[in-house]
């Protein structure tokens, strides 16, 4: 079913204002296959479940990708059913999550601190089995092009690069810790392929230096994800072709190591849309506003990032009322939600040719960090519908 067909059908069948997430599983499958097939043999592609833990997404991706990266016991529970390799990394792991990860046979656990290392070693010793770990490094320098920086600056993530040698010495002395590699997830929504390649090369060099210095049985270098979606200018997307070609050129530098990518947003964002109906159009202090059935409690990302989310308008010609239809015509409009807060803004002061009450706004790139990062319970409005347009 096409999106426009669903919208028209829904409007004909129900008098309730339209509000739904539309997911295209066929598009997700095609995109995942293209990404996976473009990578060199020494690369493994994992899905970062935090981007969207929808079970239908996981079942679509499981046969295609090399595994799942999870960041909580809850995500682990969702992913483990698909019997794919798991990586578990989180900055504040609970003991029960560590035990669950060990019981689930995860491929590796992230070590985020000395205390993390001590607890993993202690629990592993109790079980009598060694636990494979990746040391998450907070680098001295990051990728300044990224939207969020999670290393290279003071954050709660990873081990300060200056302290990595001390942590490695401690880890090597522990009988039930097996150092499998390093983890360098350092950014969010980076849009520069060349900067990403420089980052990957730096991670490889640091990993090999520590491997040789401490005689480590290293097998994996996990560079995380952080590849972005250009919400501000979708016509200028991240250049995946350049990144993939650059990764192929690293073959001679791998020295027997496996490179792991953990993609989330870049895998799923374009496979989802949030569609919602305009309930009212009004002017206030000479500015135009369109009020939606929906808002940031369903799609928090634009409010969180203070950006205009990419959107398009689907015109609905039928008007059920006997009085005038409010609209804006060839002017700028701010598109807001139904919440009782001025922060409930999805688009601020953007030109539209025409927008009327009863029309439907389609917010694109809503397949990642959308529904599950939003504050659903505020004001107790009904949830949106979830619709799967095409099976994989």
Token pair for 324? 């005038």
Contact 335, 311 (CB under 8 A): yes
d(Cα 137, Cα 152) in Å, to the nearest integer? 10
Cβ-Cβ contacts under 8 Å for 277 (sequence gap 6 or more) = 17, 18, 19, 292, 293, 294, 316, 358, 359, 360, 361
Candidates 224, 131, 219; CA nearest to 180 is: 219
- Of the listed 19, 33, 271, 340, which one is catalytic? 340
CB atoms within 10 A of CB 313: 17
Question: What's the DSSP call for residue 203?
Answer: H
Maximum pairwise Cα distance, the chain: 80
The half-sphere exposure of 120 on its side-chain side, counting CA atoms within 13 A, is 32
Phi, psi of 290 (to 5 degrees): -115, 125
DSSP 8-state secondary structure symbol assigned to residue 389: E
Contacts of 2 (CB under 8 A, 6+ apart): 389
Burial of 307 (0-12, 13-18, 19+ CB in 10 A): middle
Q: Show the DSSP H helices in 50-174 as ranges.
A: 55-61, 73-79, 95-103, 114-127, 164-172
Q: Give yes or no for a contact between 52 and 368, defined as CB atoms under 8 angstroms apart.
A: yes
How many residues belong to the chain? Answer: 392
Q: From CA 233, how far away is CA 325, in angstroms rounded?
A: 32
- The two beta strands, 272-284 and 360-363, are antiparallel
How far is it, in rounded angstroms, from Cα 19 to Cα 4?
Answer: 14
Residue 87 has, within 13 A of its CA and on its CB side, a CA count of: 32
Cβ 326 vs Cβ 364: under 8 Å: no
Is 43 marked active-site?
no
Torsion of CA 242, 245, 246, 249, to 10 degrees: -160
Catalytic residue numbers read 340
């Amino acid at each position: 079913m096409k999106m426009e067909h669903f919208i028209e059908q829904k409007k004909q069948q129900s008098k309730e204002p339209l509000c739904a997430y539309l997911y295209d599983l066929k598009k997700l499958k095609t995109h995942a296959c293209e990404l996976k097939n473009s990578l060199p043999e020494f690369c493994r592609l994992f899905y970062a479940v935090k981007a969207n833990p929808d079970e239908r997404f996981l079942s679509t991706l499981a046969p295609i990708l090399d595994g799942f990266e999870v960041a909580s016991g809850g995500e682990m529970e969702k992913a483990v059913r698909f019997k794919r390799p798991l990586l578990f990394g989180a900055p504040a792991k609970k003991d029960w999550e560590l035990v669950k990860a060990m019981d689930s046979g995860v491929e590796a656990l992230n070590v985020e601190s000395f205390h993390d290392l001590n607890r993993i070693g202690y629990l592993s010793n109790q079980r009598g089995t060694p636990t494979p770990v990746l040391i998450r490094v907070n680098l001295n320098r990051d990728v300044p092009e990224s939207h969020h920086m999670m290393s290279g600056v003071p954050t709660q993530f990873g081990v300060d690069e200056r302290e990595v040698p001390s942590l490695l010495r401690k880890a090597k002395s522990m009988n039930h810790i097996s150092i499998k590699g390093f983890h360098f997830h350092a950014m969010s929504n980076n849009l520069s392929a060349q900067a990403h390649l420089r980052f990957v090369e730096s991670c490889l060099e640091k990993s090999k230096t520590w491997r040789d210095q401490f005689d480590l049985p290293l097998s994996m270098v996990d560079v995380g994800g952080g590849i972005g979606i250009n919400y501000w200018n979708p016509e200028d997307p991240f250049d995946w072709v350049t990144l993939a070609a650059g990764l192929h050129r690293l073959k001679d530098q791998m020295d027997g190591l496996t490179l792991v990518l953990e993609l989330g947003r870049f895998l799923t964002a374009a496979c989802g849309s949030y569609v919602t109906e305009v309930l009212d159009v009004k002017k206030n202090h000479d500015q135009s506003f369109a009020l939606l059935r929906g808002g940031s409690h369903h799609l928090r990302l634009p409010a969180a990032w203070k950006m205009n989310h990419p959107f398009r308008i689907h015109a609905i010609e039928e008007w059920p009322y006997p009085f005038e239809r409010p609209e804006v015509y060839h002017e700028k409009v701010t598109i807001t939600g139904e919440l009782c807060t001025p922060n409930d803004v999805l688009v601020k002061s953007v030109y539209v040719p025409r927008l009327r009450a009863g029309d439907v706004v389609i917010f694109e790139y809503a397949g990642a960090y959308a529904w599950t990062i939003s504050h659903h319970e505020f004001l107790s409005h009904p949830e949106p519908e979830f619709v799967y347009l095409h099976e994989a």
